[in-house]
Amino acid sequence: MSFVHLHVHTEYSLLDGFCKIDGLARRVKELGQSAVAITDHGVMYGAIDFYRACKREGVKPIIGCEVYVTPPGRTRFDKVYELDGESRHLVLLCENEEGYRNLSYMVSMAWTEGFYIKPRIDLELLRTRAEGLICLSACLAGEIPRRLRNGEYEAAKAYAVEMGKLFGPDRFYLELQDHGIREQRTVNQGILRLHQETGLPMVCTNDAHYLRKEDAETHDVLLCIQTGKTLDDENRMRYEPRNFYLRSEAEMKKLFGGYEGALENTVKIAEMCHKDFVFGKYHLPEFQLPPGYDSFSYLKKLCEEGYQARYGEDEAHWEQLRYEQDMIEKMGFTDYFLIVSDFVRYARSVGIPVGPGRGSAAGSMVSYCLGITDIDPVKYGLYFERFLNPERVSMPDIDMDFGDTRRGEVIEYVRRKYGEDHVAQIVTFGTMAARGVVRDVGRVMNLPYAEVDQIAKQIPNPPGAHITLADALRLTKSLSDLYNSDPAVKRLIDTAQVEIIFIGCGSPDGAREEFARLFAALERHPAPFAPEPVVETAGAVKEKTVEMEIAQSKMAMGFRTGALAEKKQEMGSAQLAKGNAGQSGNGGQNGQGGQSGQDGSSGGSGQNGSGGQSAQSGQPAQSGQSGQSGQNGDGGQSGQNGSSGQGDGSGQNGSGRGTGTASTPHDYVSIPNDIADSGNLTGNAVDHDASEYFHAQNGLSWEGTHMSHEAVIGHYEQNAYEGIAAGKYPSGMEEVIKEYFSNFD
């Protein structure tokens, strides 16, 4: 072997990479290559799956990332669009454990400190975290290729020399690529000259976004889903020529055989990289014990005190308690129970609601005596062995629920007590459901909505089951017949038979956040045009363009606007806008009429569009009477063609609804107000805090209660169907509502 792929994007380069990790490892083995790198855009989500897949196939995994770097002279804290709108690419590969830790740290800082359109690091951070890393100068979007393309050879040379000093000998490589793009040939000539004048080594890569050449079309569809475009749009983003696949060693030799060391250095770098993960070993923080105790004796002390409080003088259950204590000690989880009981005790001491316990942990008497759970396992006949036993190879899972408005205080307490480096929050990933993928791919192919909808509805949707398109073809004869007889349907389903990964939310808080982000973007902006601060799942406030906000939220929660937009045009915008007070036209801001007031006051009427003064809110009325709708101020009409909202004066107990009309239709449409309970949970509420948005009179108590994403969605779905049965919707809305919720199937 004399070539290794060092620049590869897996499906974790979300909606951009199409190298499925399992298929990647197999394909590398088929090509006779013994190692491969993962270099997803700005993230390391796929590292563990990639590592395991490669190990299964006998391929050496190289962990890396293609990071985004701020422009020269700018820091990750600078966020001015004209100066910081375009990041530079840089490929970083982990040589060893230190390099992995440094890369992980920089990627984290890119998201929590440097996020502006992309998660960015800067040279200052790179200088302090370069140890253990090997750097490649990246694709055309790298700083050196960018300067060479612009004819700034001396500037490119100076930057290359600086990077060579930063990483040290044999740790910085000038990257050569040739996908048939004219500019790459110009850059490669400059790279060769830089090598000759500076002695910096060269390395060749193929910027692989899919596995085989024939996967290019499916990758093109993926890009269209990401950008909201159709395949026949001439002005859309695309990868041309279609050479962004895992090329063979022979193909790479043909392209780069004349460049000194370019092929050999891929193998040299692969041999330099040694990063292995150790699984099955736990790294718990040290519990701070009072003097005179070890972990086990302190656990027994707390359990004895808890037993007395729970059971009094009844000694019938002592034997069970001792059995559980011995099992916990034998399996090495003593500190784990002490840590959990510690932060639960803290939450209760400061009045934070704590759930009674869920799952198998409720079967543990130790958990009950420590106050972790409030469910008596003896009374309800629950089994400790379902929670913990010698046959269980993984760590026991204790699910805790805290009141969502103060959950952050518990996390902050744990950070303070055990150290920032011992606390992490997780992200979850899911794949788009079969029906959703068919609808998205159909939109991308510009197929008539009615036809695509008919096909999608033939895909079985049993509760709780994950049905793939292959399953659907096997189970549904009518769909199979269409597939075999209609070339267009065959192309649609063949293209859609790909699992599209999206980021989910690690908690109901995250789910509510995603809903609020999406609706806020849709309601505030008729079309994406300006940066908007949004709250990401990880909790950091970041600047992101509204276009990206909408695209990512749609993917994260399965929202599909194409069908709704088409229905909207059929029904007329005024009908769809029922209850959306003062929705703006082009350039106009949303009105906020219809928010409930206190003691009968009406909500504020529509805010102005460009140049318009906002109307004053309605005057408070007596209890049970309607408030007066706000009067428009000077220029109170919202932007072009947009009418301002008015309070409708219902006013009973402060629940005045707003009415209004939406003006010029746009591509992004909001969820109809009446899908939410009694119209109170509307797009108009999105200016509130995300948690308030989901608390707003929807009949749910989030305090101390855990609800899955499915439960959140199911609650709104139930309300929607109740509305259909009650005849609450204008003609045609039933199909819109059904279409909306079918995308979560």
pLDDT 10s digits, 33-53: 999 999 999 999 899 999 999
pLDDT at 489 (0 to 100):
92
What is the C-alpha to C-alpha distance for residues 548 and 116, in angstroms, rounded to an integer? 11
- Span 596-620, average pLDDT: 36
With beta carbons less than 8 A apart as the criterion, state whether 67 and 92 touch.
Answer: yes
Angle value at C-alpha 159, between 154 and 165, nearest 5 degrees: 125
Q: Does the pLDDT at position 426 exceed 90?
A: no
485 alpha carbon, distance to own chain's centre = 38
Q: Please write down the long-range contacts of 390-393, taking CB distance under 8 Å and 24 or more positions apart.
A: 390/327, 390/330, 390/331, 393/280
Please tell me whether residues 512 and 492 are part of one structural domain: no
How far is 715 from 710, CA to CA, in rounded Å? 8
Separation of alpha carbons 41 and 29, rounded Å: 24
Asked if 592 and 694 sit in the same domain, the reply is: yes
Amino acid sitting at position 316: A
Count of CB atoms within 10 A of residue 238's CB? Answer: 16
Considering the domain architecture, whether residues 186 and 135 belong to the same structural domain is answered as yes
Question: How high is the pLDDT of residue 425?
Answer: 81
Tell me if 621 is assigned to some domain: no
Q: From 715, 685, 687, select the one nearest 699 (Cα to Cα).
A: 715
The secondary structure of residue 386, as a DSSP letter, is: G
CATH number at residue 450: 1.10.10.1600
The average pLDDT across 260-280 equals 95
Which segment, 162-166, 378-382, 421-425, 499-503, is predicted with the most confidence on average? 162-166
Q: Which of 272, 266, 16 is nearest to 136 (CA)?
A: 266
pLDDT of the residue at 222: 84
A 10 A CB-CB count for 135 gives 22
Instruction: Taking residues 307-314, report their average pLDDT.
Output: 93
Q: Which residues contact 605 (CB under 8 A, 6 or more apart)?
A: 581, 582, 591, 592, 593, 615, 616, 617, 618, 629, 630, 631, 632, 644, 645, 646, 647, 658
The structure's pTM equals 0.66
pLDDT tier for residue 718 given thresholds of 50, 70 and 90: low
Instruction: Calculate ∠ Cα 167-169-174, nearest 5°.
Output: 75
Q: What is the C-alpha separation between 604 and 593, in angstroms, rounded?
A: 5
Identify the pLDDT of residue 394.
76
pLDDT at residue 1 in the model: 61
Tokens 């736990």: give the residue. 282
More confident residue, 671 or 302: 302
Is there a single domain that holds both residue 445 and residue 539?
no
- For residue 254, pLDDT over 90 is answered with yes
Three-state DSSP state, 245: strand
Give the mean model confidence (pLDDT) for residues 218-223: 86
Inter-residue contact 70 to 120 (CB < 8 Å): yes
- Average pLDDT on 308-328 reads 93
How many angstroms from the chain centroid is the CA of residue 627?
A: 42
Q: Token match 């609450």: residue?
A: 728
- Between the two ends of the chain, the Cα-to-Cα distance in Å is 46
Q: Phi and psi of 211, rounded to 5°? A: -80, -45
Average the pLDDT over 643-657 and give the result. Answer: 34
Residue 197 has pLDDT above 80, yes or no: yes
β-strand partners of 172: 135
**9, part of any domain:** no
Distance between CA atoms of 99 and 708, rounded to whole angstroms? 37
Residue 217: per-residue pLDDT: 87
What does the buried/exposed string (b/e) look like for 268-287 if buried means 16 or more CB atoms within 10 Å of the residue's CB?
Answer: bbbeebebeeeeeeeeeeeb
Place of tokens 């440094």: 102
Amino acid present at 427:
V
Out of 437, 472, 503, a domain closes at 503
Percent of the chain topping pLDDT 90: 50
Residue 66 belongs to what H/E stretch?
Answer: strand 60-69
User: Please, are residues 663 and 641 in contact by the beta-carbon 8 Å criterion?
Assistant: yes
pLDDT at 610 over 50: no
Q: Looking at the structure, do residues 327 and 210 belong to the same domain, yes or no?
A: no
- Residue 186: its H or E element: helix 182-198
End position of a domain, from candidates 487, 503, 519: 503
Q: 465-498 burial, b if ≥16 CB within 10 A, otherwise e? A: eebebeebbeebeebeebbeeeeebeebbebbbb
Do 113 and 182 share a domain, yes or no? yes
Whether 525 is covered by a domain: the verdict is yes
Q: Is it the case that residue 623 has pLDDT exceeding 60?
A: no
- Asked if residue 185 lies in contact with residue 144, where contact means CB atoms within 8 angstroms, the answer is no
Question: Quick one: pLDDT band at residue 720, thresholds 50, 70, 90?
Answer: low
CA distance 5 to 609: 53
Supply φ then ψ for residue 519, to 5 degrees: -65, -35
DSSP secondary structure letters along 132-190: TEEEE--STTBHHHHHHHTT-HHHHHHHHHHHHHHH-TTSEEEEE--SS-HHHHHHHHH
Q: Cβ(107)–Cβ(42) under 8 Å?
A: yes
112 pLDDT more than 50: yes
Mean pLDDT of the chain: 74
The answer to whether residue 194 is domain-embedded is: yes
Is 279 within a domain? no
**Does 497 share its domain with 520?**
no
Measured CA distances, 669 to 128, 133, 734 (Å): 46, 46, 16
Q: Which residue has the higher pLDDT, 33 or 644?
A: 33
Beta-bridge mates of residue 10: 19
Question: Which residue did the predictor score with more confidence, 118 or 574?
Answer: 118
- Please determine, for residue 541, whether its predicted confidence score (pLDDT) is greater than 70: no
Span 520-524, average pLDDT: 36
pLDDT at 202 over 50: yes
Q: Is the link from the previous residue into 241 a cis peptide, with omega within 30 of 0?
A: yes
Rounded to an integer, the average pLDDT of 615-635 is 36
Label residue 464 by pLDDT band (50, 70, 90): low
Handedness of CA 42, 439, 240, 50 (dihedral sign): positive
So what's the pLDDT on residue 433?
78
**Domain with 377 in it:** 295-418
- Domain CATH number, residue 262: 3.20.20.140
CA pair distance 577, 661, nearest whole angstrom = 6
pLDDT in tens, 11-29: 999 888 889 998 999 999 9
| Secondary structure (3-state) at 147 | helix
718 vs 712: CA distance, rounded Å? 10
Q: Which two tokens stand for residue 586?
A: 């082009």
3-class DSSP assignment, residue 320: helix
Query: Distance of alpha carbon 406 from its chain centroid, rounded?
Result: 23
> What is the separation of C-alpha 710 from the centre of its chain, rounded to a whole number of angstroms?
17
DSSP 252: H
Token couple for 686: 């999105």
Q: What is the mean pLDDT of residues 221-229?
A: 85
More confident residue, 687 or 491: 491
Residues 6+ apart with CB under 8 A from 378: 317, 320, 365
DSSP characters for 416-455?
HHH-GGG------EEE--HHHHHHHHHHHTT--HHHHHHH
Residues 189 and 112 in one domain: yes
What digits encode the pLDDT tens for the residues 662-671? 222 222 223 3
Last residue of a domain, one of 455, 487, 503: 503
Return the closest-CA partner of residue 472 out of 420, 508, 426, 437: 437
Candidate from 56-70, 241-255, 521-535 with smallest mean pLDDT: 521-535
Are the C-beta atoms of residues 662 and 577 closer than 8 Å to each other?
Answer: yes
- Residues 480 and 577 placed together within one structural domain of the fold: no
Instruction: Assess whether pLDDT exceeds 60 at residue 638.
Output: no
- In angstroms, the CA 202 to CA 242 distance is 24
Residues 585 and 440 occupy one common structural domain:
no
Give the CA distances from residue 357 to residues 345, 367, 369, 397, in Å, rounded to whole numbers and listed in that order.
14, 9, 13, 11
Higher-scoring residue by pLDDT: 590, 46: 46
pLDDT band at 725 (very low <50, low <70, confident <90, very high): low
Q: Looking at the structure, do residues 338 and 482 belong to the same domain, yes or no?
A: no
pLDDT score, position 572:
37
Domain match, 373 and 485 both: no
Is the dihedral angle over the CA atoms 519, 522, 524, 528 positive or is it negative? Answer: positive
Three-state DSSP at 530 gives coil
H helices, E strands: number in the chain: 28, 13
- The count of domains in the chain is 4
Residue 447 belongs to a domain: yes
Rounded mean pLDDT of 356-376? 93
Q: Report, as an integer, the average pLDDT of 461-483.
A: 86
Contacts of 185 (CB under 8 A, 6+ apart): 178
Residue 494 in domain = yes
Whether the CB-CB separation of 500 and 559 falls below 8 Å is answered with no
623 domain residue, yes or no: no
What are the CA-CA distances from residue 210 to residues 21, 229, 251, 430, 499 (Å)? 11, 20, 16, 20, 14
Residue whose pair of structure tokens reads 């609020």 in the numeric block: 516
